[in-house]
Structure 1
Amino acid sequence: MARPGIRKHEVQKARLALIRSGRHPSIDAIRIELGNTGSKATISRYLKEIEADEGGAALPQASISAELQAIVATLAARLELEGQERLDLLRTGHAEEVRQLREAMEQVRGDVRAAKMESEHRQTELLQERTARQRVDAELEELRLEHRESLAQSSAQLAGMQDQLKSAEAHIASLDATHANAREALEHFRTASKEQRDREARQHEQQLQFLQKELATTADALSTKQSELRAALQEKAEALAQLGTARAEKRLVEEQLRELKPTAERLASQAQAIEVMRGQAELANQQYETLRARANELEQRNLELERQLAARSASAQTQDQLLHEVLARIGQAEKQVGGKPNRSKRTELK
């Protein structure tokens, strides 16, 4: 079964191979040279186009000497092979360059993806740090409120204790005045009975002891409140220390933000590098188009050289025919003159 898609240059190559081997490039011979592929109509059409490009019908095999045919076939095959090798070399170089550019682009894309993942990780850590800082600020604010409330309560309790102490002192002063009045009454009423005097003295002593006990209790309560005030002041100092720690953590977070800034700049530079790579890829495509145009020019030049070779072959054929005609005339002249010397033959020819 014929293979579809046979090309003109394949037919031309098979034809040149047949000519180089000294065989007539017929349609059947070319089809056998192509491996029994291609339709005869297609091969015939390509042969007509090739002969038209060479400037006329195919040259008769018998009119060209074997040596000239070999030279023509060798030159044509060499030109075709050199052109094909140059084209293959250019295509291979371009493919390698495109492959390298693609690998570079893939590497840059991988770097960008890694940098993006690192940036997202950094953003997550930054969000966690911000959340922790907000939580610490909220706890610190709660501690401040509790400290203010505790300080206000301690101040209120201290003021109440001071008021109670003043009341006790006033009460003691009042008792002292009462005691003095009692002494004055005793001086005025010495004649009163001794039992009444003793009873009043006992009552006075009991009241005095009671007041002294209340004074001691008030002093103890005041000491307790002072201890609580000192504890509240200690808690305030601890809260201030926690505030300092929170500020230190805030500075640490700000330093981490400054450290993340070069990463963002590196991402920007990598984006610029990607743009440069895209420009290089476009330049490579332009170079490929230039090389492709150059290959087309070389192919046209090969065809032109082949036409020139065909023209020279035709000229050589014409000269060969002229030489045969001259030799034929010489032979006829020799037959006419018979056995005359060669010198006379030359004179006659002249």
Structure 2
Amino acid sequence: MARSGITKREVQAARLALLKAGHHPSIDAIRIHLGNTGSKSTISRLVKEIEDEEGGGGGQAPRTTVSEQLQTLVNNLAARLELESQERFDVLKEGHAAELKRLTEARDKALAESQASMRQAEARQVEAADAKAAALRVQGELNALRLEHAQTTGQLTTQVTALQEQLAAAKAHAAELGKQHEHAHQALEHFRAASKEQRDREARQHEQQLQYLQREVATATEALASKQGELRTALQEKVDALGLLTAARAERRQLDEQLRGLKTAGERLAVQNQLVDDLRAHVLQAVQQYETLQSRAEALERRNGELERLLAAAEAAAQTQADVVKGVLERIGQPPANKSKGKAASTG
């Protein structure tokens, strides 16, 4: 909604703004710049007065007093000061808004990265915990296998020792049987030698004794064959025990390889823990960057407040200067007719 009237100072400020923007300060352009406020006749009259004061109007300009020229100069300076202050404030305000937007976006981005890093760190911690639990489980299985291997090795060692003792006993028994066979053979030879002298007289007795000795030899031979079979069985059991021992050694090598694999898994776990520490350091750095951006945003807010205070001080200084000039004009005795003329011009 348009206001009821406009002042000469407002028309002069609009005219200066159009000239500074490179536009022609026509009546319609000035009225549009003022927000379609004021009648065209009032704007035209005020523009003519401004042009007359600046020496740009047609015909001879009316003579003015020093106080009127000083008043006009003060009005022009006040209008220009207000316009330049407003433009500078707008530029600073736009720059501050752009900087604040950029810092806000940077803060949001840093916060998102920090949250992503924290989620990744939590995932790494879960993986590390799983790997640690798996390592503990495998270590327990390895300890159980080691205990079982130790028990199996002890049992095999005991069996091998018993078999070796049985083999030694079988060898000793076989040696004893050999000695008995040799003694029997020597006795037989001796009997044959003696029987040649007593063949006729002890033929039947010799025959009986020979059959007896042959049976004894057959029995000893069968016993020797049985012991040799037992020896072969003991040797086969020894071979089987050696096979079991070889299998146990292979199993032990496999367990050693698993242990080396567990050591490698432990090294990978240490690398993952280092990665978790690096992610924590990255999160701390992101938090520090966020705090730095927050401090900078607060500094910009304080700077904006200082600029607003400076603008208010400039406006207050301009108003004070205008009041001082007004007081000077009143002290030098400005004619009443000129005052009434100024009032008429200000009401439009």
Give the TM-score normalised by the residue count of structure 2.
Answer: 0.65
Does the 8 A contact of 2:195 with 2:203 survive in 1?
no
Q: Which amino acid aligns with 1:115?
A: R
Query: 1:257 aligned to 255, 266, 271, which one?
Result: 266
Partner of 1:164: 173
Partner of 2:30: none
Q: Deviations over 1:55-101 (max 9, x none)?
A: xxxxxxxxx99xx6995997587777667656555543443332222
Q: Which has the higher contact order (CA 8 A, sep 6+)?
A: 2
1:326 Cα offset (Å): 2.6
Partner of 1:176: 185
Query: 2:198 aligned to 174, 189, 193, which one?
Result: 189
264 and 20 in structure 1: CA distance in 2 versus 1, 3 angstrom threshold = farther
1:287-326 map, 5 Å: 287-315=296-324, 317-318=326-327, 325-326=334-335
Does the 8 A contact of 1:161 with 1:218 survive in 2?
yes
1:221-236 map, 5 Å: 221-236=230-245
Q: Deviations over 1:235-285 (max 9, x none)?
A: 222222222222222222223333334323222222222232233233223
RMSD of aligned alpha carbons: 3.6
Q: Which amino acid aligns with 1:179?
A: L
Report the more deviating stretch, 242-251 or 107-116. 242-251
Partner of 1:117: 126
Q: Which amino acid aligns with 1:142?
A: Q
Give the TM-score normalised by the residue count of structure 1.
Answer: 0.65
Residues in 2 aligned to 1:288 and 1:171: alpha-carbon distance in whole angstroms: 114
Q: Deviations over 1:282-309 (max 9, x none)?
A: 3223313321221221121121122123
Does the 8 A contact of 2:174 with 2:227 survive in 1?
yes
Residues in 2 aligned to 1:277 and 1:295: alpha-carbon distance in whole angstroms: 27
72 and 162 in structure 1: CA distance in 2 versus 1, 3 angstrom threshold = same
Does the 8 A contact of 1:72 with 1:309 survive in 2?
no
1:142 Cα offset (Å): 2.5
Structure 2 residue 295 is the aligned partner of structure 1 residue 286: yes
Residues in 2 aligned to 1:20 and 1:84: alpha-carbon distance in whole angstroms: 30
Residue identity (%):
14
Does the 8 A contact of 1:168 with 1:215 survive in 2?
yes
| Structure 1 gap ranges (5+) | 1-16, 23-63, 332-350
Partner of 1:271: 280
1:140 Cα offset (Å): 2.5
Does the 8 A contact of 2:82 with 2:315 survive in 1?
no
Structure 2 residue 218 is the aligned partner of structure 1 residue 209: yes
The count of aligned residue pairs is 271
Residues in 2 aligned to 1:209 and 1:162: alpha-carbon distance in whole angstroms: 20
1:159 Cα offset (Å): 0.6
Partner of 1:54: none
Residues in 1 aligned to 2:206 and 2:337: alpha-carbon distance in whole angstroms: 194
